[in-house]
Amino acid sequence: MDGAGREPEEGEEREPGAISDRNILDSFSESREVAELIGNLREVFGELVTREMAVERFIGIMDKYQEQPHLLDHHLEGMMNSLLEIVRDSGSPPPLVHLAFKFLYIITKVRGYKRFLPLFPHEVRDLQPVLDMLAKQNPRDPETWETRYMLLLWLSMICLIPFDLARFDGNLASLEGQARQPTMDRILEIAKCYLVVSDKARDAAAVLVSKFIVRPDVRQSRMADFLDWVLSMLSKSSSQTMEGTVIVNGMLQALAQLFKHGKREDCLPYAATVLECLDKCKLSESNQMVLRKLGMKLVQRLGLTFVKPKVAKWRYQRGCRSLAANLQAQGAPVQNQKREVAPAEADDDEEYDIPGEIENVVEQLLVGLKDKDTIVRWSAAKGIGRITGRLPKELADDVIGSLLDCFSFQETDNAWHGGCLALAELGRRGLLLPSRISDVVPVMLRALTYDEKRGACSVGSNVRDAACYVCWAFARAYEPAELIPFISHISSALVIAAVFDRDVNCRRAASAAFQENVGRQGTFPHGIDILTAADYFAVGNRVNCYLTISVYIAGFPEYTQPMIDHLVSMKINHWDSVIRELATKALHNITPQAPEYMANIVLPRLLPLSVGSDLHTRHGAILACAEITHALCKLALENNRSVTYYFSEKSLEDLKQIHQELCSRQLYRGLGGELMRPAVCTLIEKLSLSKMPFRGDPIIGGWQWLINDSLRHLTLVSSAARQHIKESAVSALAALCNEFYINERGEADPALQDELVTQYISELQNPEEMIRCGFSRALGALPRFLLKGRLQQVLEGLRKVTVISPADVSFAESRRDALIAIAKVCQTVGVKGDGSQQEYVCRDNVDQIYATLLTGVTDYTTDSRGDVGGWVREAAMSSLMEVTVLLVQNEAELMNANICKQIMCWLAQQSAEKIDKFRAHAGSVFLTLLHFDHPPIPHIPHREELERIFPRSEKEVLNWNAASEAFPRITQLLGLPAYRYHVLLGLSVSVGGLTETTLRYSAQSLFDYMKKIQNDPSALESFCETLLKVFEDNLHNDRVSVPLLTMLDQMLANGCFDMFTEQENHPFPVKLFTLCKEEIRRSKDIRKLRSSIGVFCGLIQFQGDMREKVLFQLFLLLCHPFPIVRKTTASQVYEMLLTYSDVGDPAIVEQAMAILSDTNWEAELPVVRERRNCLCDLMKVPRPQLVAKSSA
């Protein structure tokens, strides 16, 4: 259950990993394919490619079963036999044998060697061949380690044969007269050799040692010597060097395996010596995690050797563990089914001497619980559990006492985590007696909320996760009657962890522990109902937990107060601001469940904290006061009570004082101010919405000062906090004005209105962009009574912000906010056709409003941040939609046909552009206006054709973000004259762009359209006319002209204008040639020049005088000052002559191509010019003349 993985940001609907997409398999479905793969090994091993493909496929199949390896069990023996057949075949070449062992290793990796080991053939006849194979291996060969690993595992199985190994030695004198090594020594030598290698074979060698040394014949004659060798290697090797680490690792593995599998009476004589040697190694000081873990493992094995292997008679036994019985008994009172230990049994607790070394072992394990690595702590926890189970009751209780010392606040999170793991182990094994539960539960409850700040983040999620494991273990370990006194605390703590923990793994762990308790204990209040709401998947989404599930659970009275107390004491002061904000919203939602408690206990507790010294607590407390106050006021109004029904005089006074206190202590300054300003703005907003009786109070002036000051100093805060402060201040302003600035007649105080509006409009021309942004949005948020009589002034001020001037060309954010504000102001004041332009959107100002918004759609400003004009275009499109819908719903006659056409055309252009996000927004707005029904938008050009291209049924499913879906639709608008120009303008940027998918689908859609009109002269003529118009209007506008040239190049290459190639001197190519020539005049833009070369080469296909002009232009470019342009031109002219061979006489064309291919066009200009002139003479094109530079 442990895992300290942090959650990602939670703006999405569900956190990553909230639903597991694992495929649950039910059988080994690829068994036939695997059999074929193994059967074909003899054919594929020779070729590297086929061999690798076979291995990759086998790994792919096996990896699917990593989480359900038991499905392989029925097939393991068959796979092993097929592979060992290859190994045993004397005709198998070494590469094939290695491949077979590689396959065997892949299977053991998935299923684990312990399950695999007994399946190895272990007959007497296998011993010599396996030893011989091992003798032939090179222990240092990195390519064949799988072979050595599997051979050692096989040998560890064979050496269990129940015959004295001396029988296999026969006559030790070999033919050469030299003595042969005994089999026993050969195996030992192999084991020693592989215990000091750095690959996986070392693990198998440790397994071999554990099986081999414990054989009776080997134990008598070799065990002492072997242990001497191991201990000497340990004492000689240093864990500080790489080589030493490898050796120590092998020795520790061998000892751990040996003491695990050896008989106690065989190992006991050596245990004290090994422990002493281990202490000298000082492994706890090593920085190698694996060595410390192996040290823990060995220490606990030694400890288990020192004490007798007997089950403690004193341990707690639960008896019946039937889930069904527990669930049936849920309504019934819990019977005390505690099993008392019979007196006779109790006295039978044999008094035997516990060796002194045990104290050392337990001490080391307790220190291991505090290790910095989880796997070491986990090993130590298991060791504590195993050894405590063999100790007498008094000693075991001492161990538990020492263990509980891990849970002091002087200890690190590592100690808390290790302590929790150990408690869970003891509980699972029945070694925590009911008498100790009262000591353990408080510790466990503290661990469930353990969170310690370290720098910018915190530690403790692993502790909370392990505490959930303790709760889970206790649910299985104890009778319900034992836990009855603690049920309310445990259930509340688990619910709180499941709903309010920051980390998803802890919420899920708590949910699982709660479920286990509901099933096993059956005593948790409302267990089944809560489980249904807060199951494993539901708690995956943090926002849902805080704002929805928590409200449901707080409806059960047993949980309401603990949940509120937890939020107030642990979450509103949390280090993560997201959690603080969620906690305050949760308090708002829970308030109706306990209004008196909130008003009388929680609020008086929060108010002092809201002006306290700790920044995070202060931030959370202010937000909590705001949310709770708002919830209490809403509740009072719903029950027809006074707004102040729930509040004491002191509470109201303290709420007013928060701003003044922070202001006098200068807490709005600096980094802390970035949290305080939006928090107090939220407080102002909520108190205003709550209709607090503060009208005429001086505090209103203080609040207004804070809002204005926050907007005026946006430039001084960090970019991350800027948006939040701006939005909070604007929301506070709107609420404050609506509540406190309106008199009984529904009007504003003229002096106040004059001061506020004039001040805000004057700030719109501030040289700081952020101040313009803030006051634009503030004007947009003002209520109608403050705008009345000042509308024209406000709209004019906002219009000036949207105008691009040289000084503020990069102020895209202020232009965006001004456009948003214009739409908001229009919605606030409403529409009245013949009304005054100082009060309403009317005939006199509607055209000016539309002109401003339509200007925003043409903003293509770019700076170091990229296409910042996109923000303005996006805001302009949204505002156009909002204003248009407003007009149509109120006075549709104010909409004139020309404006409607402009809106739809601009939206169509944006829908054909290259950036997915803006294209999607434009498409969405386009379809909203097209399909708007209440009432329909008038004057939409070609409405019927548009409804056919974009059916209503597809409005929701059409994905504008996907180029493959958007472009086939939008290119159909090229057939509609009103839209053709704008769609072509948008398409040219996409077709000639750089993004591969956009380019591919937009070009394909354009060419499909061109094919349709290929044989329709009038349609093609009008298309070409529009194309030339787009080019002419955007001459020297590189944003359009460069991609347009690229698009023209592609269109000419695809034969889109074949109809005109038959006619001599057709006006289209002539005009296109002139425009291209003008576009590249004096240009130094390499991309533009290279695109134009393609267009010129494509124009050669047109008949008449064009050809000579085109060749002249291309030959000019052959002597361009930039070598890359010369080289590109030569290459493309060569391809052109190859493609359009009718340009001239075949012999001349061939000569020209030879000159083009043989010349180094990147050479010096005089050399290149001479070769170019040869081409001119050859093709009968006048030589370009050098123009003498005029003297200055």
pLDDT of 336 > 60? The answer is no
Is a pLDDT exceeding 80 seen at residue 12?
Answer: no
* CB-CB contact of 826 with 882 (8 Å): yes
Region 901-921 average pLDDT: 94
Q: What average pLDDT score do residues 697-714 get?
A: 93
Q: Calculate the alpha carbon distances from 1024 to 364, 886, 895, 974, 1119 in Å.
A: 87, 39, 32, 11, 32
Taking 70 as the threshold, does the pLDDT of residue 981 lie above it? yes
Query: What's the pLDDT band for 425 if we cut at 50, 70, 90?
Result: very high
Q: CA 153 to CA 185: how far, in whole Å?
A: 18
Contact 258, 342 (CB under 8 A): no
Q: What are phi and psi of 972, to 5 degrees?
A: -65, -20
The string of pLDDT tens digits covering residues 814-872 is 999 999 999 999 999 999 988 888 999 999 999 999 999 999 999 999 999 999 999 99
CA-wise closest residue to 789 among 844, 845, 737, 838: 838
Which helix (H) or strand (E) segment is 894 a member of?
none
User: Mean of the pLDDT values across residues 729-742?
Assistant: 93
Q: Which amino acid is at 842?
A: C
Per-residue pLDDT band at 1060 (split at 50, 70, 90): confident
CB 659 within 8 A of CB 699: yes
Give 547-597 pLDDT, tens digit per residue: 999 999 999 999 999 999 999 999 999 999 999 999 999 999 999 999 999
pLDDT of residue 340: 41
pLDDT at residue 492 in the model:
96
What pLDDT was estimated at residue 342? 40
Cα 509 from Cα 630, distance rounded (Å): 34
Asked whether residue 341 carries a pLDDT value surpassing 80, the answer given is: no
Question: Is 60 exceeded by the pLDDT of residue 192?
Answer: yes
pLDDT confidence of residue 796: 94
Residue at 660: amino acid letter: Q
Residue-wise pLDDT tens digits, 647-687: 999 999 999 999 999 999 999 988 889 999 999 999 999 99
Over the stretch 461-520, which tens digit does the pLDDT of each residue have?
999 999 999 999 999 999 998 999 999 999 999 999 999 999 999 999 999 999 999 998
What is the predicted pLDDT for the residue at 1041? 94
Asked whether residue 348 carries a pLDDT value surpassing 70, the answer given is no
The reported pLDDT for the residue numbered 1043 is 95
> Is the pLDDT at 23 greater than 60, yes or no?
no
Query: How does residue 1082 score in pLDDT terms, banded at 50, 70 and 90?
Result: confident
Confidence (pLDDT) at 719: 86
748 strand-pairing partners: 742
pLDDT-derived band at 1 (thresholds 50, 70, 90) equals: very low
CB 895 within 8 A of CB 940: no
Residues 6+ apart with CB under 8 A from 743: 749
Tokens of 635: 């509740």
Q: Are 563 and 590 within 8 A, CB to CB?
A: yes
Residue 2 in this model has a pLDDT that exceeds 60: no
Between residues 1137 and 317, which one has the greater pLDDT? Answer: 1137
- 51-73 pLDDT per residue, tens: 999 999 999 999 999 999 999 99
pLDDT-derived band at 329 (thresholds 50, 70, 90) equals low
Tokens 């080019």 — which residue?
Answer: 1031
State the DSSP H helix or E strand holding residue 454, giving kind and residue range, or none if neither: strand 452-454
For 772-820, how does the pLDDT look when each residue is reduced to its tens digit (9 = 90+)? 999 999 999 999 999 998 999 999 999 999 999 888 899 999 999 999 9
CB count within 10 Å of CB 1154 equals 11
pLDDT at 17: 40
Tally DSSP H helices, then E strands, for the chain: 59, 2
Q: Distances from the Cα of 9 to the Cαs of 14, 711, 1179, in angstroms?
A: 10, 28, 67
Within a 10 A sphere around the Cβ of 278, how many other Cβ atoms?
Answer: 20
The answer to whether the CB of 961 falls within 8 A of the CB of 916 is: yes
pLDDT attached to residue 697: 86
Assess whether pLDDT exceeds 50 at residue 1192.
no
Query: Taking all residues of the chain, what is their mean pLDDT, rounded to a whole number?
Result: 89
Q: Which residue has the tokens 């926050």?
A: 710
Q: How many residues can be counted in the chain?
A: 1192
**DSSP alpha helix (H) spans, 64-144:** 73-88, 94-111, 113-116, 127-136
The residue-averaged pLDDT of 675-700 equals 93
Asked if residue 196 has pLDDT above 70, the reply is: yes
Work out the end-to-end distance of the chain between its first and last CA atoms, rounded to an integer number of angstroms.
Answer: 83
Give pLDDT, residue 338.
45
pLDDT score of 324: 61
pLDDT for position 352: 61
Residue with tokens 């038991």: 70
pLDDT, tens digit, for every residue of 1117-1157? Answer: 999 999 999 999 999 999 999 988 888 888 888 999 999 99
Is pLDDT of 177 > 70? Answer: no
Per-residue pLDDT band for 320 (boundaries 50, 70, 90) equals: low
Q: How far apart are CA 839 and CA 791, in angstroms?
A: 6
Q: What is the pLDDT of residue 1187?
A: 65
The answer, yes or no, to whether residue 9 has pLDDT greater than 50, is no
What are the C-alpha distances in Å from 429 to residues 420, 472, 841, 923?
14, 13, 78, 64
Q: Is the dihedral of CA 104, 108, 110, 116 positive or negative?
A: positive
730: helix, strand or coil: helix
Written in H, E and C, the secondary structure of 278-318 is HHHHCHHHCCCHHHHHHHHHHHHHHHHHHCCCCCCCCCCCC
Burial label for 438, CB within 10 Å (0-12, 13-18, 19+), is exposed
Average pLDDT of the segment spanning 163-180: 62
